[in-house]
Amino acid sequence: MELLIIRHARPVAETRSEGEGSADPPLSPIGIKQAEATAEFLKDQGIQKIVSSTMTRAIQTAEPFSKLSGLEIEMIDDLKEADFDRNSYTPIEEMGPDHPFIKEYLENPESIFGGDLEGFRKRTTAAFNYLIEEYKSSVVAVFCHGMVMGVYLQSLLGHDNPVALQPDYCGITRVTASSSGLRSIRSINETSHVRHLLD
């Protein structure tokens, strides 16, 4: 089977007050255009199943392709981002060098994974393994997040840095896989379909 793993489009920044729950921002106007361009590209890829993280920015990125293809979106909570429980979210392009998230990462890289990189790796890898087992011989589009993709690629490649391979908005990574355990990365961070919409 083949996984087309797609990072969400660009969201807006969002901060919630105490008691309002975790930040879960929608797409920005440019993000909506990125999602629409991605849908147009994906329509000729032979996709048979759409899966998304349960976070708004991933769902909204999947929706244009769902409407275009007529395929329903299956939500998988284990594909949500590592920092899903934070009360604020800022796109990396809007972060200055003094942003608290940057400082926190530089002081303790594992902090951006909720302090449990291995737990994050296990839950996201389990989600991909479920898809590989459940949808044998299918082509599956998976809409998720940068750190989800980066850590999964780290696991497949066996390298040390979980943030070395970070995709652009709507960047597509292709993995062919079998239930026997064989995994092959066919491409990383394809962006030709949205290059005109990336800053």
Integer-rounded Cα Rg, in Å, for the chain is: 16
DSSP state of 11: B
Q: Going along the chain, which residue ranges are E strands?
A: 2-7, 14-15, 49-52, 73-75, 88-89, 139-144, 172-177, 183-190
The domain containing residue 100 runs over which residues? 2-197
| pLDDT band for position 54 (cuts 50, 70, 90) | very high
Looking at 84-93, 147-156, 189-198, which range is the least confident one?
84-93
| pLDDT higher than 80, residue 81 | yes
Rounded Cα distance between 102 and 23, Å, is: 18
CATH number at residue 162: 3.40.50.1240
Residue range 81-110: average pLDDT?
75
Q: How confident is the model over 111-166, as pLDDT tens digits?
A: 777 778 899 999 999 999 999 999 999 999 999 999 999 999 999 998 888 777 88
For the chain, how many structural domains are there in total?
1
Average pLDDT over the chain, rounded to an integer: 91
Query: Which one, of 143, 136, 126, 8, lies nearest residue 78 by Cα?
Result: 126
Q: Reduce the secondary structure of 12-38 to three states and give it as a string.
A: CCEECCCCCCCCCCCECHHHHHHHHHH
